[in-house]
Structure 1
Amino acid sequence: METKKERVFKALRNEEVVDVPVGFWHHYLEDEHVDALKTPAYHTQNVEGAKKFKEEFDPDFVKVMTDGYFYLPIELDISSVDKLPNFTLVPIEHPWFQKQIELAKEYREIYGKDIAIFHNLFAPLWHFEEAIRKAYKVDAEESHEIILGYLKENPEAVASCLDKIADNLSLLLKEVVKEGVTDGIYLSAQDMHRYIPDALYRLYVTPSEKKVLENAKAFSPYNLLHICGWRGNTNFLTIYQDYPAIAFNWAVNTECLSLREGKKFFHDKCVIGGFLNTEDSILFTGNKGEIQNYTQKLLKDVGRKGVIIGADCTLPRSIDYEKIQYIREACKGDFQKIVG
């Protein structure tokens, strides 16, 4: 009998499947940006949330929700743009790495060996922005202005800093992307509300993101790219067309690019998504029939080859697991037989 992992891997390899996999997730902490190193109870809460998700939905595959361990704890020297790359690398022995390794192993214990698990990791630019916010004690918008100023003043220094962050993040890959722990990474990228012009992003940001994916490929071919469209933010999707990921997940509704169109756009690779993730969307307001009809329309449009039905981004914590169970039922090959 085919396991969930085997079926998901077939979809990721762009093969046709009878029962199309379903992939949804949500954060398990009220504020996913907290520091779990300072408050270990958050780690426990995350694990308990994963157990509940297993018990009440039993997903087709899993993303390790790294709530509490989002950003690499680096300290940048902001005395001049030239000194940005001079930060001290975080060693693999640091608790920020070790607790994530522990978390990934706990997810594997919960879900077992026959399900695919992908480790959530944010692209280097996210870590750079967070380090800038901490160093300058500014909000996101102000940090964007600072980073854009750096790119105009000395883009090579910014690129060097991002490259070093990519190397630092990659220390984690050997520890979690291997048999018995996780099966690949779920890399989250975003061109940050388009505050960085397309050409600058391609030249000075893209290499660090591709580097993380290439490093991950040394341990597994099954690495996913999430192009974050959270809260209606749009991206320059063309930036990501040639990224070395096996599958692409983007905000289908925000970007106005359907799954079918996305398959062509991303060179016929596996695509993930289809559902809007907000609380006023059909996933939250629709009844069983409406949700399953919508699912069937998605599959009729995109087909069953190289597709996983999911959402634009992380679901709100208020999601009713029964709603996503409706979707999984509608993704089965014999769904019409089931409904009579």
Structure 2
Amino acid sequence: MSGKRELVLKVLQGEATERVPVGFWYHFTQENEWLKGFGNQEIIQKNLQGHQKFLKDVEPDFIKLMSDGYFAYPHEQLQGLTSIKDLADLEPLGAEHPWIEEQLDLVRKIKASFTEDIFAFYNVFAPATYFKWLLVGVGQGDKELTDLLEEDAEAVQKVLATIAQDLASLSQRLIEEVGLDGIYLSVQTIQDERLTKELYQTFIAPSELAVLAAANQAQGLNILHICGYEGAKNNLSLFQAYPAQVFNWAVGAEGVSLAQGRKLFQGKTVLGGFANAKSGLLYGGSQTEVEQETRRLIAEAGQTGLILGADCTLPSDIDPKRIDWVRQAARI
């Protein structure tokens, strides 16, 4: 077992380590390409080459593999949807659908680029995220999804369960066949005041739990990312009992520190601490400021069960040396 793999494993098991591991990531394609990678070799190659450069430049303690290009769940019946009632007969794509096979192939090629044995997790979005992005576009669709829930909540639940079956197949095959260590499941409270906690728990959460259950059944060690991208607000208590091994949320946007989050998530390993935006200290602060903040976060959250990272994806043009500043300062 490599030193980095042993380091991360100890953290996941709540054991003392010689330093706190560090995990940051960013996109390797443009936003207008995130929905268009399926079957597009140019975008797929850009993502692959981006990972290869990241591995060389950053030498990460572990890696979250980006699903850039595969943000669109390619079910024909979901195209141009006008009424949720049109999806009464929706069936899963199937575990061997090309959308799944392509992602498996991409991950195999990225893994072949590894020069050291490190933990690797693949980015998978919640079923509701894939669904709402099909309705409008990346980062949108909350209003439209809530409209559909008001039209027929049980029908929406069935659609999300169908998407979850395919994501479960993807997750299991990545872990069992490709040898990934787990998935990085990105969830987000629906950003619409009509969507209450009770509605979320009844009609949205089961599909997310189904994906996590499949990854756990495949013996994955999985990260739950509660996405606060661009200031999105989440009710963290919704995810308190989710069966993930690591929890990551937007410390700044949610106003919940790493130490507070560890209590909320029942002592599980926590990941994060730094703001991810260009206005944040990690992107624009001095080396001294970044190092001081690294030490402050460790002192606040404790040295065990902690991985230093960011609220969400970093800007793609961040200087890799800034990530190394954190790693060097995280030596206990």
Q: TM-score range by the shorter chain?
A: over 0.9
After superposition, the CA RMSD in angstroms is 1.9
Could you tell me which residue of structure 1 aligns to residue 232 of structure 2?
233
Task: Give the alignment of 1:46-195 within 5 angstroms.
Answer: 46-76=47-77, 78=81, 80-112=83-115, 114-133=117-136, 143-178=141-176, 181-195=179-193
How far, CA to CA, are the matches of 1:155 and 1:201 in structure 2?
10
Gaps of 5+ in 2: none
Gaps of 5+ in 1: 334-340
Q: Which amino acid aligns with 2:288?
A: G
How far, CA to CA, are the matches of 1:194 and 1:111 in structure 2?
41
Cα drift, residue 81 of structure 1: 3.0
Q: Is the 8 A contact 1:76 1:131 kept in 2?
A: no
Q: Is the 8 A contact 2:148 2:156 kept in 1?
A: yes
**Identical aligned residues as a percent:** 37
Could you tell me which residue of structure 1 aligns to residue 38 of structure 2?
37
Q: Which amino acid aligns with 1:66?
A: S
Bigger drift between 177-186 and 259-268 goes to 177-186
Cα drift, residue 12 of structure 1: 1.8
Bigger drift between 109-118 and 263-272 goes to 109-118
How far, CA to CA, are the matches of 2:22 and 2:82 in structure 1?
48
How far, CA to CA, are the matches of 1:298 and 1:240 in structure 2?
23
In structure 2, relative to structure 1, the CA distance for the partners of 1:253 and 1:10 (3 Å cut) is: same
Cα drift, residue 289 of structure 1: 1.1
Query: TM-score, structure 1 length as denominator?
Result: 0.91
Could you tell me which residue of structure 1 aligns to residue 293 of structure 2?
294
Q: Is the 8 A contact 1:46 1:67 kept in 2?
A: yes
Bigger drift between 103-112 and 298-307 goes to 103-112
- Which whole-Å deviations, capped at 9, do the CAs of 1:140-181 have from their partners, x for residues lacking one? 76x433322322232111111111111121111232113753
How many residue pairs were aligned? 328
In structure 2, relative to structure 1, the CA distance for the partners of 1:88 and 1:261 (3 Å cut) is: same
Aligned structure 1 segments of 4 or more residues deviating by more than 6 angstroms:
none
Q: Which amino acid aligns with 2:111?
A: R
Cα drift, residue 61 of structure 1: 0.5
Q: Which amino acid aligns with 1:283?
A: L
How far, CA to CA, are the matches of 1:131 and 1:86 in structure 2?
18
Query: TM-score, structure 2 length as denominator?
Result: 0.93
How far, CA to CA, are the matches of 1:88 and 1:286 in structure 2?
50
Q: Which amino acid aligns with 2:125?
A: F
In structure 2, relative to structure 1, the CA distance for the partners of 1:76 and 1:130 (3 Å cut) is: farther
